[in-house]
Structure 1
């Protein structure tokens, strides 16, 4: 069942410098990376926004919003997305996680807790702010970060009272982000 109080936000505006090509367009198992993110979100919500500065992403049936602040990284992408949503929550996904699925995303949804503004996964002592559920309340903190030129995403997330959900080793494969050709080869071999 879809949740009317959550918007899916796909961040597709990164430079993909380590990959050397636009990661959103890489094909894995018959779909582009961005299509994998969108498909996982479609099981959760019908309200999806793509944050991208390229009109190439207009081919999807969802609204595309450019970063309001250019060259500021994921902080600007999340800010642009949170500013655009009409729902209370947003699931933020980067577009470089082709194994993501609704099973994992539902763990975020089921962990909603009014005491926390961000629900994110943790695996091997690392948090996943680019696979996380954000409350709209975080918008002001992202705006503050932009106004004060704070580019580091984890610094902003830490001001938002995050809750970490420990992810099992079995489920960690689903949140693996692909940054290099070697990363891609590893998931293709498995």
Structure 2
């Protein structure tokens, strides 16, 4: 399977007050947990998508650095440009956020096992309880026309809008699945740093 792992790490962290992807959990920065979940699950080509101001701060030999074409336009826009311009040689892109320190290789493997080729599936998206988790999803290159159309409509750039236009396979997870715990505010980290 021709797949790249992409860690989304270009957000403002406005609610956190500083770049949260560099907070430390178990001796590693948050973003490193996403990078290692990919690499330890057998995804050899891993990239961090960030912006010009943050990119120099990432210190890892396990991932390449990609620079956003435009800053702070959201994950749907980022996915489009990764597929269209930055990683044209890959059929699949597996997204993970940079602020999910409890994500595991087992989670990545479970998701990856749902991708079989050939297949009509264009995206594999986890659902935790009843909540979609698009930033833990796997997307096929065939999503590009739908992505471009949504961007050209210049509306909300919602990932859910994309799901209405492509063939999605949903993977159910328990509501308490730790892989989906993301850290938006300092108090989120205080409440979850033990992996609760």
Q: Same fold (TM over 0.5)?
A: yes
Equivalent position of 1:52 in the other structure: 50
Q: 169, 176, 181: which is aligned to 2:181?
A: 176
Which portions of structure 1, spanning 4 or more consecutive aligned residues, are displaced by more than 6 angstroms?
none
> For the structure 1 residues 57 and 149, does the alpha-carbon distance in structure 2 shift closer, same or farther, using more than 3 Å as the test?
farther
Name stretches of at least 5 consecutive residues in structure 1 with no aligned partner. Answer: none
**Structure whose residues are more often helix by fraction:** 1
Distance in 2 separating the partners of 1:82 and 1:57: 24
Distance in 2 separating the partners of 1:24 and 1:56: 13
SS of structure 2 residue aligned to 1:68 = coil
Does structure 1 residue 152 correspond to structure 2 residue 158?
Answer: yes
Contact 1:70 1:76 (C-alpha < 8 Å) held by counterparts: no
Bigger mean CA deviation after superposition, 20-29 or 48-57 = 48-57
Task: Tell me the CA shift for residue 169 of structure 1.
Answer: 4.4
Name stretches of at least 5 consecutive residues in structure 2 with no aligned partner. Answer: none
Aligned residues: 186
Distance in 2 separating the partners of 1:32 and 1:59: 9
Tell me the C-alpha RMSD between the 2 structures.
Answer: 1.8
TM-score of the aligned structures, taking structure 2 as reference length: 0.86
Task: Tell me the CA shift for residue 33 of structure 1.
Answer: 0.7
Contact 1:52 1:66 (C-alpha < 8 Å) held by counterparts: yes
Contact 2:146 2:162 (C-alpha < 8 Å) held by counterparts: yes
Contact 2:10 2:72 (C-alpha < 8 Å) held by counterparts: no
Equivalent position of 2:109 in the other structure: 106
Distance in 1 separating the partners of 2:165 and 2:45: 27
SS of structure 2 residue aligned to 1:130 = helix
Distance in 1 separating the partners of 2:65 and 2:153: 26
Equivalent position of 2:121 in the other structure: 116
